[in-house]
Structures are given as structure tokens and as C-alpha cells.
Amino acid sequence: SVFFQTPYVLSIAYKVLVVMLEGEEAAKRALPVRDRDLGKMVPFPNQPIISEVVAAGGKLKPILADSTLIIQGKNLHSEITKVRIGQVEVTPESVENNQITLPLASIPTNSLKAGVQSLQVIHHISPGTEPVTHNQVESNVAPFVLCPTVTRVSPGNVEDIDQESCAAEITVQVNLLLGKEQRVVLALNQWSTDNPTSYLFDAPKRRKDTHAVTVSVNKVLPGEYLVRLMVDGAESQLSIDENPNSPTFNWYVAPKVELLNC
């Protein structure tokens, strides 16, 4: 025994019996299958799998409404391949087994919201001679972040608070819809090389989806400010001065707002 000072040996036994069941009715056998047409759908289809969604410019490039998406994975190609973003299905520009190219410009802008998007590759199955209950194969859901672009900035109701700061209402318009439940934050960075300051202000709740939001700012130093909008973490981009002869070459230069009359 494996137990100390135990005068017996551990053992176990099984009794196995085979039971034969015989019925009184005659056995039956179905006719052989003549047609295995399942609408071109096999019992275990090669499901498309998405491994990555990036901008055509590279992994570190932000994805904008006019970007081209590179969807990478495996089993992406089929006879009829669609890409679903949110509730919209579109036909991609090119489809290979390991990569799909999709210009976001092919999707109506009003169908896209700033922030995190869900993307799937859909394989539609052509109907055969027999109807099928499920005529498409869907990939896993892959997320990507769609950044808004600021199209207009308008200051209003600028007033003095004290000798050094002011308050205002800044309206920012973007090219993508802002969902009424999305968190929107306005970021202001003073456009200066002399000890610039920065501010963050939360936008108020909205009653409906919209392209514009008005944010109240308070205790802000007078000056020019670069403007960014962050929607559920998706940040609008700043423009860079690319003119080598400009005194502000390689600086961030837009979009900006002036708060000088306070």
C-alpha cells in the first residue's frame, strides 16, 4: 500500500457486460442520397476571420471618413463578399483571401458616427436548388476608431470674468454624426511658444444626434487656441503647416479659435 503501515493493497475492479437489444420489427434503411446541393454551403464553412483593421497609410495613421481601410485576416474571399460597418453593408473595392480594401468614402457620411465602429466581413451564399435557412456566413466583429474632422469653429458670448480670464461659448462642427449618448470633450491648446496653457471642457448632453456641439468654456486666458474634439476617445486631427518657407513650418496651425475680445 502507498499508505504507511496499512496492511492491505488498494485495488479496484469493474464488471463489464454487453447487452444486445433485439426488436421484433424489421430493420429499415433510407434510400441513398442523390443530391448534396446545400445552396453551395458546406456543413463546416470556412468562416472569414478578421485579424486587423488599419488605415492604408499605416497602423499608426488615424482613420478618417475619407480613409481607405485595409482589412487583414484569412478566408476573406468568397463569391459574394460584403463588409458591414454598423448597420450598413457595402461592396469592397478589392477582395483577396487575406486582405480586403475598402474606401470609407463609399459609405454615406450620415451613416457613420465618430468613435469606435464595429466591422464584419459577410459571405453571402448564392441559393441553390434547395432553400437554405441561413444564407450568409459572418466573420468575427473587429473594432476600429473613426476620428472626426472639425469643419468649423465659431466663438460666441465672449465676456470678461476678471482682468486675466474670460468665458465664452464655442460651437464646433464636425463631418461625422455625434451620438446623443456619446461623451464629447473640447480640447483647447494655446497657440503660443511662450509657456502655452491648455484646457479640457465637457460638452453638454444632446437630445439628438448632431454634427455640431456648443461647449461653454470658463476662466480661459485670452489668446488663440488650437481646437480638438474628442468623441468617446476618438480625437479630431490638427493640420500641420507644410510650407518650408513659412515661419510656422511644421507647426500645428488649424483649426483655431480666437478669444481676444475679453
Output b/e per residue, 43-58; b: 16+ Cβ within 10 A. eeeeebebeebbbeee
Q: Is there a contact between 93 and 103 (Cβ–Cβ < 8 Å)?
A: yes
Residue 33 in domain: no
18-32, 46-60, 191-205: least confidently modelled range? 18-32
Judgement on whether residues 167 and 142 belong to the same structural domain of the protein: no
Q: Among 125, 147, 145, which Cα is nearest to 137's?
A: 125
Q: 59 lies in which domain range?
A: 49-146
- 3-class SS of residue 222: coil
Q: How far apart are the first and last CA of the chain?
A: 94
Percent of the chain with pLDDT over 90: 65
Asked if residue 1 has pLDDT above 90, the reply is no
Q: Summarize the confidence of residues 33-50 as an average pLDDT.
A: 64
Judgement on whether residues 84 and 165 belong to the same structural domain of the protein: no
Residue 163 in domain: yes
Single out the residue in 146, 177, 210 at which a domain terminates. Answer: 146
Q: What is the mean pLDDT of the chain?
A: 86
The pLDDT score that the predictor gives to residue 134 is: 58
The pLDDT score that the predictor gives to residue 129 is: 44
Angle at 213 between CA 212 and CA 215, to 5 degrees: 155
Judgement on whether residues 104 and 182 belong to the same structural domain of the protein: no
Judgement on whether residues 183 and 93 belong to the same structural domain of the protein: no
User: Which residues face 252 on adjacent strands?
Assistant: 240
Categorize the per-residue pLDDT at 108 as very low, low, confident or very high, splitting at 50, 70 and 90.
Answer: confident
Quick count: other Cβ atoms within 10 Å of Cβ 247?
7
State the pTM of this model: 0.76
Single out the residue in 118, 146, 174 at which a domain terminates. Answer: 146
Asked if residue 155 has pLDDT above 50, the reply is yes
Residue 235 in domain: yes
Angle at 176 between CA 259 and CA 218, to 5 degrees: 25
The pLDDT score that the predictor gives to residue 114 is: 94
Task: Please give the distance of CA 217 from its chain centroid, rounded to a whole number.
Answer: 30
- 3-class SS of residue 111: helix
The grid coordinates listed for 184 are 464629447
Judgement on whether residues 66 and 133 belong to the same structural domain of the protein: yes
The pLDDT score that the predictor gives to residue 18 is: 76
Number of folded domains in the chain? 2
Categorize the per-residue pLDDT at 10 as very low, low, confident or very high, splitting at 50, 70 and 90.
Answer: low
The pLDDT score that the predictor gives to residue 111 is: 86
Judgement on whether residues 203 and 159 belong to the same structural domain of the protein: yes
Percent of the chain with pLDDT over 70: 81
Judgement on whether residues 141 and 161 belong to the same structural domain of the protein: no
Single out the residue in 119, 146, 173 at which a domain terminates. Answer: 146
**Domain CATH for 64:** 2.60.40
The grid coordinates listed for 88 are 450598413
